[in-house]
Chains A and B, each alone.
Chain A
Amino acid sequence: MQARKKYGLLGLCACCWLVLFYWGGGVQLRLLRLLTRQPGEVVRPWPNWTDRAFLPRYAHLDEIQMDPGTGELPHQRRHAWSAVYKDSRCRMETCFDFSRCRRRGREGFRVYMYPSEKSDRVSESYRKILASIAESRYYTSDPREACLFVLGIDTLDRDQLSGQFVPNMDERIRGFPLWNDGRNHLIFNLYSGTWPNYTEDLGFNIGQAILAKASLNTEHFRPGFDVSIPLFSKDHPQKGGDRGWLVRNTIPPRRKYLLMFKGKRYLTGIGSDTRNALHHIHNGKDIVSLTTCRHGKDWEKHKDARCDHDNLEYESNGGTLKGDGAACIPVLLSNGWELPFSDVIQWNQAVIEGDERLLLQVPSTVRAVGNERVLALRQRTQMLWEAYFSSVDKIVLTTLEIIKDRVFSHISRNKYMWNSLPGGLLVLPEYSTHLTHFPFYYLGLGVSPGQEFTAVIHAVSPLVSQSQPIMKLLQVVSKSKYCSQIIILWNSEKPPPSRSKWPPMPVPLTVTDGRRKTTSRFLPHVAIETEAVLSLDEDTVLLTNEVNFAFLVWRSFPERIVGYPPRSHFWDPLKGAWGYTSKWTNDYSIVLTGAAFYHRYYHYLFSHYLPQSLRTLVDRTSNCEDILMNFLVSAVTHLPPIKVAQRKQYKELPSPQSTKSVPWANPEHFNQRQECVNTFANWFGYMPLVHSQFRLDPVLFKDQVSVLRKKYKDLERA
C-alpha cells in the first residue's frame, strides 16, 4: 500500500513536471534569462528595425550639396553684420577693422598708445602695463600705422569708490579723434562695478573695443573677442618674475594637506578670485582650491553657504589627512568664470576642474587622481605660470599675441604651441607654423632632428693668403659627412674675393654680405636650410672629428647650444652686480658661439624676439653677441649650454703684454662683456644663465684602451 502510494505520488509529480515543461517551456528559459542577466549588462533597447534599410536619408544628396544660397551679396552681408553685431555681440569679424593691420604684411601688427595727460594719475599697475607695451616689439608712436590702440587713461579700477577711479570717461573718450566707437581699441581692466553689486559694468561705454579684463563672467565674455586676463597686484614684477615654487618632483608627491581652501573673497572686489588664481597657480607647495563666488545681491547668503563650507573642508582635511600620501593639485571651482587666457590655455591639463555645486565630491575626486597625473599637473601649472603669468610683461604680451593670432589667423600658433614648453610667447609663428621646424617639439612629435648642418663662418679679415686660418677651417668643416653647406658671412671692409679664390669643396659654398654688423651672424639667412647651424669664427681651430662629435651631441640636445670653449658668470656681492669670467673654472654657463652648434630657430628669435636696443648695443661694441645668444637660449630652455670635448683650449686669454691686435686681449673688451651681462640680465628681468658642471666627451675619451678601438682618437692628441 505504502509503496503503491509512493509510486503513484512519484508518477504524479513526474506528470506534473512534464506538463509544466510542455506548457511552460518558456518559463524556464525566461527564468534562466532573468537569473543570468548581470546587473551591469545592458539590454539593447534601441531596436534593430526590420525596415531600417528602407529608412529615408535625413536629407537628399542634392539638398546637402546644393546649398540654397541667399540673394544677398556676401560683401553686403558682411557690411550688414557690422551694423547688427556690435557692442555686446562684438566679434572680430564685425567689430575689428582688419584693414588697419595689413599695411605692412606680417609686420602689420602695431600698437599705439595714447599719450597720457599730465593731469591724470596713472596707477602703478597701469604704468607697468603701458611700460610693457612701450617696450614690446609691437609698439609704434605713429597712430597711422597702428592696428591696435591702447588708452593712456587708467581704466584698471572702475570702482567708483576707489581712489583710482577716473570720472567722465565717456566724454573724454568721445573727445579722441581716433576713438571711432572703440574700434581696434584694447581696454585693460581689473576691477569693475562697486560694492555691493560687483557688476561687469565699467561705468562707460566701451563700444566696440576689446576688453582685456580680469575675472570675466562667461555671460558677458564675448568669445573670440575679449581676453580674460589674470588679476595682478601692483607689486607684480614688471619683468622676469619668479620661477615658481616647484623645485622638486617628489614621489609620492606627498603634502601635508589633501585640500586647502585659500584666498579671501568679497573683501577686495570681484576680482579677488582671480587674484587667488594668480597666486595659487604659483603655489606649488600646498593643495589649493580656488573658488569664485558670484557677487550678487545675496552675497551674504552665499558667504554663509559656501565659504564656511570651504573652511570646514580645510579644517577637516587638514586634520585628518595629515601625512596622507595624497598630493598637491590645484583644484579649480570656477562656475561662470572665464579662466585667464582661456582662448589658448588648456586648463584641464593643468588643474582639476570641479563644479562648485559638487563641492563634496572634490575630496574623493582628488583622492582618485593618480601619482603620475599629480606630477604632470604640478609641472604644467608651473609651466603656465612661468610662461604667461609671472610678470606684467608676460601678461600684456600674451594678451597682444592672442589678439595678433586672431588677426593673422593663418599665421598663428596652434594649441600645442601654446600649451607645451617653452610657451607661446617664445614661438614666433612668422618663422613657421610647423611644429617640426622648432627645436622643442621633437620628442612630443616622435621625430628626430635632421642629419645635416650648415656651417656659418663669420669672416672679418680680408683674404690675402691661402694659409689663412679660414682656409684650414673650410677644409676641416667641409670634410665632415654631416655638413650640407657652408655660408661665409663676409664682414670685412674689403669686398669678398672672387669664387676662384676659395678652395674647391665637396659641399656648396655661399658668400653673403654681413654689412659689417656683429649681429648679422645671427640673422635668419634664408640660405640656411638645415635645422642645425654650426657658427664659426674665421680663426677657429677645429678637427673634423671634433665637429662630428659635437654635431652628434647636438642631435641629442637640439634645444641647447653645444659648443667648445666655456665661460662663466657669477654674482659679485661686493659690486652688487653680475660678473663675467673667462678663467678656467669647474663650471660654466656660457659657451662661445665662435664655435657652436644650435638650432636655426635661435637665429630668428635673436633677430625678432630680442629688442632692437640690445642688438644695437652688440653692433656698437662689436662684442657680446655670444653672451646675448646664450642668454636667449637659456631663457628659452631654463637649462645650461653644453660643452663638448676639445683637443686643446683655444682663444685662451693671453697675457696682456703679448699680441695687442686681437680684440679680446684688450681689457676694455673684457669690461664691456661684464657690462653686457648686466645689461642683458636687466632686460630679461632675471638671470637666465644656468651653471653646468660637466662636459661631454667621447665614450672612450682618454681611456686606457687601444687607440685602434677609439673612434675619436685624434681628440686626445695634445
Chain B
Amino acid sequence: MYASGKYSSRGPALIPRMKTKHRIYYITLFSVVLLGLIATGMFQFWPHSIESAADWTLDKRSVHDAPLVRLSVSSLIPERGDLSCRMHTCFDVYRCGYNPKNRIKVYIYPLQKFVDELGVPISSTGLSREYNDLLSAISDSDFYTDDVTRACLFIPSIDVLNQNSLRIRETAQALAMLPRWDKGMNHLLFNMLPGGPPDYNTALDVPRDRVLLAGGGFSTWTYRQGYDVSIPVYSPLSADVELPERQPGPRRYFILSSQTAIHREYRAELERLKEENGEALLLLDKCSNLSQGAASARKRCFKGQIYDYPQILQESSFCVVLRGARLGQAALSDVLQAGCVPVILADSYILPFSEVLDWKRASVVIPEEKLSEMYTILKSIPHRQVEEMQRQAHWFWEAYFSSMKAIGLTTLQIINDRIYPYAARTYEQWNNPPVVKWSSVNSPLFLPLIPPRAPGFTAVVLTYDRVESLFRVITEISKVPSLAKLLVVWNNQNKSPPEESLWPKIGVPLKVVRTKENKLSNRFFPYDEIETEAVLAIDDDIIMLTSDELQFGYEVWREFPDRLVGYPGRLHLWDHEMGKWKYESEWTNEVSMVLTGAAFYHKYFSYVYTYKMPLDIKNWEYTHMNCEDIAMNFLVANITGKAPIKVTPRKKFKCPECTAIDGLSLDQTHMVERSECINKFASVFGTMPLKVVEHRADPVLYKDDFPEKLKSFPNIGSL
C-alpha cells in the first residue's frame, strides 16, 4: 500500500515533461536510424575489409591472384644453414610454451608471388600441386593456427620441394623477406629433391639461416640429428595408380631391380648376380622403343618384354633401391606401396623418418660395397621375417608415405614430439601396424619383480549386513601371518556398522569404510587406506579358507603380481549350438577366471577398474548386479594377456556366486545371466581376452609323501 501510494504521487508530476521528452525521443530515434543506414551502407560497400577475407578464400580464388612481391637485387640474403644447429640452440621453445594439449601451433604464410626486379619469378613452377596439398593438409589439421602471434612453427608458402625449379639466390632473398623470418628461427621448409648438377648436394642449397629442414635425401653429413627431419621423396605415381591388396607371402621373383638410371658399374654387378642366381632375379630397365612421357614412366622392359610399373613390384619379395646422384629415391615409396621389402643400397643415406621408424623391421640396408653379397644376405632371412617385413613395409607406406598429407603431418608430429617429449608417441605407436596394435599386449606391470613379503597384503571384506558371518571371516583372516590391514567395506546405506567395541580384537589395523551406494564394484575401489600392493578381496561369508591357504595364495601372488590369484575357478566356453559364450561353474579341467569372492590382485587393477573401465561395462554392471567379478577377470586378462592363477584344491564353497547378494540362488537363471555378462563384455572389448589354462598352483610338497609338519603349508585342501 505504502509503495503504490508513493508511485501514484509521483505520476502527475511526470506528465507535463512528456512533450519535450517526446521530441527529444523522436530526434534521437531518427538520427539513430539515419546513422544506422549510413553505417550499413558503408559496411556493405567497403572494399574488401579484413573480415571478408574469409569469403574471398572460400571459392573464387586462383593461384594467379596471389599478390606480387618484387625483390630488389640488394635485398638481404640469409646465411647458409648452420651445421651445428640443434633444437636447444636454433629453435625458440618459448614460442611454443606450455599447452595442455601438448600440440605445437603452426602458421602458414599467405601465398605471395615473388619476382625479381625484372619481373622474372623466383621459381619456374611456382606453387606445385604437391606443396599445395601439403599446406592444405596442415591448415586442415589440429596443428594449424591463423594467429601469427601464437604460432610456434612457421611454414613459408614458397615452394622449394624441387631445387631444380628454383633460382637459389632469389629464393633465399624471398625467404628473408618474410615478416617473421628472424634468422629463420622456427621456420620449416620442405624439400624433396635437393642439390643440382654436377655434385648434387644432399641438402637444399638455398641459404636459409636456422631453418629447420624437412629434406628428402639427407646424408649423414648434412643431416642435423635431432633438428632436421628426413622425409621421403614423394612418388606422384601413388596418386595415379591403385595397387590391389596383396597379402604378405612368397612372390614370383626373389629380387627385383626396377630403377631405370642405375650406374653402369652397379648394373654390371646386378647382371652378374642374375647370371649366378637365374630366375630368382629380375632386372628391369627403361623401354627403349617407347616414346618419352608419362607412358614410359609406367613401363619397364627386360629383353623386349614389357612390364607394368609399379604393378610388377608386387611380384617380388625384395626390391632393390640403389642410390643415384641423389640419395633419396622416389622408388622407395613405390616399393613400399607394393609391399615389397626394400633393399637399400645408399651409403650414408638417412632413411625417411628414421628418428621414429625402425627400418630394420621393414627393410634391409646393405653397404654399397656388399652389393655382390646381396643374394646370400637376403637368402639368410627367415621366411616368416620376410612376410613380417612385407607387411611392415606396406604399413609404413600407408601411414607415412602415401600422400603429401601423410608426409607433412608425420613431420609435424616428429617436431611436436621433440618439443613435448613427455607426450611423445611411443615406439609401438609409430611402428606397430594395426594388426599388431590390436592383438599385442603391453602389460603395465611388465618388469619381472617378486615383491618382498614384508609389506603383506590388505584384506578388503565387502559386507552388507551379515555381521556374525563377517566377524568370523575377520577372525579367520587375522590369523594369516602376512595380513597387514583389514578393510571392511560397509555396503549397507540403511544400517550403520556395529559399534567399535563389538568388533573382534585382531592384531592388525581394522578400518571400516561406508559406501554411498550399494554396488558390488565398491570392493574394487582403490581406497587410500590400502597401502600395500597386494589386495585380498574376500566376501563376508568365506570362512572355509584356512590361514595356510590364504598365506599360500599371497605367496603365489608375489610370484604373479600382475595376475588375479584366486580360489574358486570358473570357465567360459563357446556354445556351438547357440553360437555364443557360456559360463561354466562345473568341475572342469580348465580355468579361465577366478571368483573375486576370494582373490588376490594388485592394487593397480582396482585403480584401472574404477577409472579406466569402459563405460559400457560399468553401466551393464549396474543393471546386472552380480557380474563385477567377471568384469575384473576380463579387465586383467585384457591388460596383461595372461590367465589368472587358481590356487589350492577345490573346496566346498557354498554357492560362491550368490554369496554377495541375498535371495539370488545358484539356479539356471543365474547361470544364464552370467553367460550374458560374458557375451556382453566380449562384445565391448571387441575380443575374448580370457585365456584358458589347465593348471592350478599348489605348494611344492602338496600331497607328497613327506612329513606334514615339515611342510610350509600343511593345512591345504582340508574340507
Taking Cβ atoms with an 8 Å cutoff, the residues of A that contact B are: 5, 9, 12-13, 16, 19-20, 23-24, 26-27, 30, 34, 42-52, 55-59, 61-70, 73-75, 78, 85, 89, 91, 93, 98, 218-219, 223-224, 246-252, 335-336, 346, 348-349, 352-358, 361, 364-365, 368-369, 371-372, 375-376, 379, 382-383, 409-416, 419, 421, 432-437, 443-447, 549, 552-553, 556, 566, 584-588, 637-640, 643-645, 649, 690, 692-705, 709-712
| Shortest Cβ distance from residue A65 to the other chain B in the assembled complex, whole angstroms | 6
Q: Are B62 and A49 in contact (CB under 8 A)?
A: yes
Which B residue sits closest to A648, measured CB to CB?
B705
B326 touches A335 (CB 8 A): no
A246 and B697 within 8 A (CB): no
Count of residues in B whose CB is under 8 Å from the partner chain: 174
Report which of A98, A346, A639, A698 forms a contact with B427, defined as CB distance below 8 A.
Answer: A346
* Stretch touching chain A among B51-59, B458-466, B512-520, B625-633: B51-59
Question: In the bound complex, what is the Cα–Cα distance between A34 and B55 (angstroms)?
Answer: 13
Contact, CB under 8 Å: A69 / B261: yes
Which A-B residue pairs are the 9 nearest by beta carbons?
Answer: A446-B439, A67-B324, A24-B40, A434-B385, A446-B440, A353-B421, A335-B88, A46-B139, A58-B128
Minimum CB–CB distance for B608 against chain A, Å = 8
The verdict on A64 contacting B236 (CB below 8 Å), with A57-B128, A446-B436 known, is: yes
A559: nearest chain-B partner, CB-CB: B448
- Residues of B near A66 (CB, < 8 A) are 260-261, 286
Decide: B604 and A375 in contact? CB cutoff 8 A.
Answer: yes
With contacts A694-B699, A697-B698 known, is A74 near B265, CB below 8 A? yes
Inter-subunit contact B94/A357 (CB<8 Å): yes
B697 surroundings in chain A (CB, below 8 A): 694-697
**Inter-chain contact A223/B330, CB cutoff 8 Å:** no
Given contacts A48-B59, A249-B602, contact A67 B329 (CB under 8 A): yes
Give the residues in chain B near A409, CB-CB below 8 Å.
365-367
Contact pick for B695, options A44, A349, A433, A553, CB 8 Å:
A553
B296 at the interface (CB under 8 A from A): yes
A697 near B695 with CB under 8 A, answer: yes
Between B63, B331, B435, the greatest number of chain A beta carbons within 10 A of the residue's beta carbon is seen for B63
Contact A67 B325 (CB under 8 A): yes
Bound Cα distance from A335 to B139, whole angstroms: 31
Within 8 A of A (CB), among B657-682: none
Whether B61 lies near A584 (C-beta < 8 A) is no
For the complex, give the distance between the alpha carbons of A446 and B365 in Å: 27
**A436 and B382 alpha carbons, distance in the complex (Å):** 11
User: What is the CA–CA distance of A19 and B44 in the complex, to the nearest angstrom?
Assistant: 13
If the complex has contacts A56-B129, A346-B427, A586-B712, are A78 and B347 also in contact, measured as CB distance less than 8 A? Answer: yes
Could you write out 21 A-B pairs with CB less than 8 Å apart? A16-B37, A19-B37, A27-B44, A47-B57, A49-B63, A65-B297, A68-B325, A69-B325, A223-B223, A249-B445, A250-B603, A251-B603, A376-B446, A415-B427, A433-B385, A586-B710, A639-B450, A693-B712, A695-B697, A697-B697, A699-B569
Known pairs A58-B236, A59-B236, A379-B447. 14 more at Cβ < 8 A?
Answer: A16-B37, A67-B259, A218-B86, A246-B447, A335-B88, A416-B427, A421-B448, A443-B442, A445-B436, A690-B450, A694-B647, A698-B695, A699-B590, A699-B646
Residue of B nearest to A253 (CB): B604
Residues of B within 8 A of A30 (CB): 51
Interface hits, B122-137 → A, CB 8 Å = 125-132, 135-136
Partner of B132, one of A43, A55, A437, A446: A55
A164 to chain B, nearest CB (A): 31
Q: Which residues of B contact A69 (CB under 8 A)?
A: 261, 263, 324-325
Report chain B residues within 8 Å CB of A704: 719
Q: Is the CB of B559 within 8 A of A692?
A: yes
Contact indicator B360/A412 (Cβ below 8 Å): yes
- Interface flags for B589-608 (1: CB within 8 Å of A; 0: not) read 11100000000001110010
- Residues of chain B within 8 A (CB-CB) of A19 are 37
Is the pair A70, B325 in contact by a Cβ cutoff of 8 Å? yes
* Cα(A143)–Cα(B64), bound, Å: 69
A693 touches B559 (CB 8 A): yes
- Nearest CB to that of A19 among chain B residues? B37
B 329-345 to A, binary, CB cutoff 8 A, 1 in contact else 0: 11100000000000000
Q: Which residues of B contact A250 (CB under 8 A)?
A: 533, 603
B494 CB–A CB distance under 8 Å: no
A67-B259, A699-B591 known; A58 vs B265 contact (CB < 8 Å): no
Given the known interface contacts A69-B261, A710-B589, the answer about A649 and B444 at a Cβ–Cβ threshold of 8 Å is: no
Query: How far does the Cβ of B216 sit from chain A's closest Cβ, in whole Å?
Result: 11
Flag if B33 contacts A16 (CB, 8 Å). Answer: yes
Question: Across the two chains, which residue of chain B brings its CB closest to A358?
Answer: B93
Q: How far is the CB of A56 from chain B (nearest CB, A)?
A: 5
Q: B587 touches which one: A27, A445, A705 (CB < 8 A)? A: A705
| Contact partners of B377 in chain A: CB under 8 A | 410
Whole-angstrom distance between the Cβ of B590 and the nearest chain A Cβ: 6
Residue of B nearest to A89 (CB): B221
Q: Judging by beta carbons under 8 Å apart, are A42 and B98 in contact?
A: no
Q: Which of B86, B424, B451 contacts A348 (CB 8 A)?
A: B424
Which of B193-201, B205-213, B468-476 is the interface stretch? Answer: B193-201
Q: Which residues of A contact B607 (CB under 8 A)?
A: 251-252, 371
Q: Report yes or no: A218 in contact with B225, Cβ–Cβ below 8 A.
A: yes
Q: Which residues of B contact A219 (CB under 8 A)?
A: 84, 86
Given A67, A365, A586, which contacts B699 in the complex, CB threshold below 8 Å? A586
Minimum Cβ distance to chain B for residue A630 (Å) = 16
Give the docked Cα–Cα distance between A249 and B700 (Å): 27
Q: Which A-chain residue is minimally distant from B358 (CB atoms)?
A: A415
Please determine whether A51 and B64 come into contact, CB atoms closer than 8 angstroms: yes
Is the beta-carbon distance between B37 and A446 smaller than 8 angstroms?
Answer: no
Give the segment of B67-75, B112-120, B159-167 that binds chain A: B159-167
Q: Which residues of B contact A699 (CB under 8 A)?
A: 569, 588-591, 646, 694-696
Is the CB–CB distance between A249 and B144 below 8 Å?
A: no
Complex contact B449–A694 (CB within 8 A): no
Contacting pair B695 A74 (CB below 8 A): no
Which residue of the partner chain B has the closest CB to A62?
Answer: B297
Selected contact of A50 from candidates B59, B84, B368, CB within 8 Å:
B59
Q: How far, in whole Å, are A191 and B590 apart by their CA atoms in the complex?
A: 61
In Å, the complex CA distance between A594 and B197 comes to 70
Known contacts A437-B382, A695-B698; is-contact A56 B292 (Cβ 8 Å) = no
Check A369 against B422 for contact (C-beta < 8 Å).
Answer: yes
CA distance A353 to B58 in the complex (A): 42
Roughly how many angstroms separate A247 CA and B417 CA in the complex, as a whole number?
31
Chain B contacts for A703, CB-based, 8 A = 587, 649-650
Interface string of B341-362 (1 = CB under 8 A from A): 0000001100000000010110
Which residues of the other chain, B, contact A637 by a CB distance below 8 angstroms?
A: 448
In contact, B110 and A61 (Cβ under 8 angstroms): no
Residues of B within 8 Å of A247, CB to CB, are 449, 451-452
A249 partner residues in chain B, CB cutoff 8 A: 445, 447, 449, 451, 533, 561, 602, 604
Q: Find out whether the CB atom of A365 lies under 8 angstroms from the CB atom of B422.
A: yes
CA distance A98 to B513 in the complex (A): 70
User: Are B108 and A58 interface neighbours, CB within 8 A?
Assistant: no
Compute how far the CA of A435 lies from the CA of B362 in the bound complex, rounded to whole angstroms.
13
> Which of B130, B427, B561 has the most chain A CB atoms closer than 10 A to its own CB?
B427
Q: Tell me if B573 is interfacial: C-beta within 8 Å of chain A.
A: no
Q: How far is the CA of A401 from the CA of B447 in the complex (A)?
A: 23
Measured between C-beta atoms, what is the minimum distance from B452 to chain A in Å? 6
Do A20 and B36 touch across chains, with their CB atoms under 8 A apart?
A: yes
B2 at the interface (CB under 8 A from A): no
Flag if A62 contacts B591 (CB, 8 Å): no
What is the minimal beta-carbon distance from A545 to any residue of chain B, in angstroms? 11
B556 within 8 A of A: yes
CA distance A13 to B559 in the complex (A): 85
Query: Known: A66-B261, A357-B93. Is A644-B695 also a contact (CB below 8 A)?
Result: yes
B442 adjacent to A444 (CB under 8 Å): yes
Q: A697-B698, A711-B694 are in contact. Are A75 and B265 (CB under 8 A)?
A: yes
Q: A46-B136, A553-B695, A705-B587 are in contact. Are A24 and B164 (CB under 8 A)?
A: no
Bound CA span A637–B603, Å: 24
